[in-house]
A and B are shown apart, each in its own frame.
Chain A
Amino acid sequence: MSTPSVTTPSRWRALTHHHLFWPVAVLVALLLVNVPFTPDFFSIKMTDGHLYGSLVSIVLFGSPLILVAVGMTLVIATGGIDLSVGAVVAITGALTCSYISDQADQNALSGVFLAMGIGLVAAVVCGLWNGFLVARMGIQPIIATLIIMVAGRGVAQLITDGQIITINSEPYKLIGGGYWLTLPFSIFVVAAVVAVTVALTRRTALGLLVESVGGNAEASRLVGIRSMRIKIMVYMFCALCAGIAGLMISSNTSAADGNNAGLWIELDAILAVVIGGTSLLGGRFSIGGTVIGALVIQTLTTTIYTIGVPTQTNLVFKAVVVIVVCLLQSPKFRAKVFGAKGRGKTAAPAAPATPADAAPKMEVSR
């Protein structure tokens, strides 16, 4: 970020110009907002052999969103979008839970693993279908994925017969609601998925290929990148992430709810990706930013519950925060507001950036 010899102002500048600065700042601000309302917001204590506290529940309840958003990031990086993730969440949960509920012994590990396998395969098939429509058939991603978004929820309801399937399986409960080494098990799942994704995209050429397809699919094809294959792959990966999130959501309540599981999660995921600084135009992405973005959204939800925002104003409150976050992310807006103010107050040599200066730096993807 900065060399040791630089002065404090420029170090500060390097920090504020880091692409994760604003998302992290918002996250910290949101966390701090809770303190006056819940004085021991940051306290974490041991309860029944596992850690318990607001921060733990933010990560626990936010895990599915992080997973979905990570998958979404790659799709968006190729210039696409996947609206079907919510339905895939519902389908995976429904299939898995209905298979487990048919078992004589719901606690049998083999049955649980098989059920999860079936659910995840179904998710990947959904992703393959999306990728096929987008890459092979050339259908606009928003339309192609809309099909499963709308129809998929119907499929999930068909699987569950319109009922909420309640299961009683201890091993299955672990993935979304259980604890391991005193931490929610879902944290480990999320960490593993994020680590694998980062390794694959930043340690191999895959990330570069994804970005190049997103930048210009045709040009990438001409230089020898199989852009179709890359596209199909990211949709399958996105669906797989959604599938794992589906396992988590259904495991968290030990029930599959075809109608409500993962409802609107696609929109939250897109929002998380955008807050994280990934361009919706494709061509560049930031997995770290997405994780922060998803945490911002989950923290916002928790904040609404803990500070007692009246029910009717929930969505307005959410909207205002999101607008503020997006404005803060915009270099033009910052230059206008903070730039002018900064110049007025301090005539320091390290004057705030001009728009032309700030813009390209903000868009550096890593």
Chain B
Amino acid sequence: MLNRRNFLTAAVGVVAASGLAACAKEDDSSTGTSTSGGKKITLGFSQVGSESGWRSANTDSVKAAAKEAGYTLKFSDAQQKQENQISALRSYIAQKVDVIAFSPVVVTGWDAILKEAKAAKIPVVLTDRSVESDESLFVTLVGSDFTDEGRRAAKILEKVLETAGHKGKVKIAQLEGTTGAAPAIERAKGFKEIMDAEHKDDWEIVVTQTGDFTRAGGKQVMAAFLQSDPDINVLYAHNDDMGLGAIQAIEAAGKKPGKDILIVTVDGVKDGFIAMSEGKINAIVECNPLLGPQLMEVVQKVKDGETVERWIKTEESDFMQDQAKDALPTRKY
């Protein structure tokens, strides 16, 4: 009986441990020096997950930059779940890290945990995504302006249509990111803003649905779109991976991606650039994940008590098909 009980305990332990998968991945175990008195800055970083190539590049950048700066990084992966992220943040507060940085999984529901951090006097830096919360609860946001990415996507679509010599109605299919996530909401918003302002008569989003930022999602949703609206001629995907999945669906339908259906995506991961150099994607709006160095700069400033801007935007550019081949070798992620 005792054996069995031990076994069960072990089993529950395994489950509990993997729930906090995060903590197992700590890069540096020198927890002894993590109190505020020590010289080495301890940064607790909670990542959204590893849902895409973009995210992996983002993670690598943060890890590399922390190492470079000589910080102790406590890294955790929330696996797309807010509750995981909240428990990770709570454990950082309990461990009294010097600065907490995190990319929120969703936009809302952060007030309580941010207040806990504030009460513990631990400054919080958001990376990549923002939250809907009291502004006093976090120091700054290091990341992209998703609304602007949406606007840039609409602007570059104008160019794409011109290059392709497209005439007549523009029927757009939109593949949204994870429902409720900031990039999904804002990339849709920014795109619509330009569309409503400048192309009210000739552009129309005929179908829009979430593809959860994944290839499989993009493929399946696009396959259904092509059935329900065979005359879709433009695809706007909120990330490259969904666009890559959609390309396969378009090919299965016997159409040519990049010709019969013009494709604009956001992110700029390597696989996206490969597809663009093959002519399957028409334009990519870059969303730069390599924000590690910028983040470490901010962490240092925050620790030194300097004031920082509320929003530190990452440097980004847009790419058309003719730039794809030249840009491809420089893509790190």
Q: Which residues of A are in contact with B by a Cβ distance under 8 Å? A: 37-38, 41, 47-48, 52-54, 57, 61, 133, 137-139, 143-144, 146-147, 150-151, 153-154, 157, 161-164, 166, 177, 249, 252-255, 257-261, 301-302, 304-308, 311-312, 314
> A residues within 8 A CB of B224?
54, 57, 302, 305-306
Given the complex, which residues of A lie within 8 Å of B216, measured CB to CB? 249, 252-253, 257, 260-261
Give the CA-CA distance A283 to B220 in the complex, in Å.
36
The 9 closest A-B pairs by CB, nearest first: A305-B224, A47-B254, A162-B50, A306-B228, A253-B215, A151-B18, A150-B18, A260-B214, A311-B210
- Is B51 within 8 A of A137, CB to CB? no
Alpha-carbon gap, A161 to B55, bound state (A) = 12
Contacts of B187 in A (CB 8 A): none
In the complex, what distance in Å separates the CA atom of A257 from the CA atom of B242? 13
* Selected interface stretch from B7-15, B146-154, B287-295: B7-15
For B219, give its contact among A143, A253, A261 (CB under 8 Å). Answer: A253
Residue in B closest to A161 when the chains form the complex, CB atoms: B56
Question: Is A257 a contact partner of B15 (Cβ separation < 8 A)?
Answer: no
B195-219 Cβ-contact flags toward A at 8 Å (1 or 0): 0000000000001111010111101
* Chain A nearest Cβ from B246, distance in angstroms: 11
Q: Which residues of B contact A (CB under 8 A)?
A: 4, 7-8, 11-12, 14-15, 18-19, 21, 49-53, 56, 59, 77, 79-80, 176, 179, 207-210, 212, 214-217, 219-221, 223-225, 227-228, 241, 244-245, 248, 252-254, 271
Question: CA separation between A124 and B1, bound complex, in Å?
Answer: 29
Q: Provide the residues of chain B in CB contact with A258, threshold 8 Å.
A: 50
How far apart sit A260 and B245, CA to CA, in the bound complex (Å)?
13
Residues in A neighbouring B18, C-beta threshold 8 A: 150-151, 154
Q: Which residues of B contact A38 (CB under 8 A)?
A: 227-228
- When chains A and B are docked, how far (Å) is the Cα of A304 from the Cα of B219? 15
Residues of A within 8 A of B207 (CB): 308
Which residues of chain A come closer than 8 Å to B221, judged between CB atoms?
305
Closest to B19 in A: A150
Identify which of A52, A57, A177, A253 contacts B254 (C-beta below 8 A).
Answer: A52
A-B contact pairs, 29 of them (CB 8 A): A38-B228, A48-B254, A52-B252, A54-B224, A61-B223, A133-B11, A139-B11, A143-B8, A143-B11, A147-B11, A150-B15, A150-B18, A154-B18, A162-B50, A249-B216, A252-B219, A253-B244, A253-B248, A255-B215, A257-B214, A259-B49, A259-B79, A260-B51, A260-B214, A260-B217, A304-B209, A305-B221, A306-B227, A311-B209
Secondary structure dominating the interface of B: helix
Q: A47-B253, A151-B18, A257-B215 are in contact. Are A53 and B227 (CB under 8 A)?
A: yes
* Residues in B neighbouring A161, C-beta threshold 8 A: 56
Please give the distance in Å from A32's CB to the nearest CB on chain B: 15
A176 to chain B, nearest CB (A): 10
- Distance of A161 Cα from B248 Cα, bound (Å): 25
Establish whether residues A146 and B176, one from each chain, have CB atoms under 8 Å apart when the complex forms. no
Complex CA–CA separation, A364 to B66 (angstroms): 63
Q: Do residues A164 and B52 form an inter-chain contact, with CB atoms below 8 A?
A: yes
9 additional A-B residue pairs with CB within 8 Å, beyond A177-B252, A311-B179: A53-B227, A137-B4, A150-B19, A163-B50, A163-B56, A164-B271, A257-B216, A261-B216, A304-B209
Q: What B residues does A253 contact at CB under 8 A?
A: 215-216, 219, 244-245, 248
Q: List residues of chain B with CB within 8 A of the CB of A252.
A: 216, 219, 248
Q: How far is the CA of A48 from the CA of B52 in the complex (A)?
A: 31
- When C-beta atoms are compared, the residue in chain B nearest to A43 turns out to be B227
Flag if B212 contacts A260 (CB, 8 Å).
yes
Of B15, B21, B59, B227, the residue contacting A57 (CB under 8 A) is B227
Contact of B227 among A54, A143, A261 (CB under 8 A): A54
Measured CB to CB, the closest approach of chain B to A33, in angstroms, equals 12
Cα separation A314 to B211 with both chains bound (whole Å): 12
Contact of A37 among B212, B217, B228, B245 (CB under 8 A): B228
Residue of A nearest to B54 (CB): A164
Closest B residue, CB atoms, query A152: B18
Please tell me if the beta carbons of A305 and B220 are within 8 angstroms of each other in the complex: yes
A252 to B125, CA, bound (A): 39
Q: With a CB–CB cut-off of 8 A, which chain A residues contact B50?
A: 157, 162-163, 258-259
Docked CA distance A104–B72 (Å): 39
Chain A hits for B219, CB < 8 A: 252-253
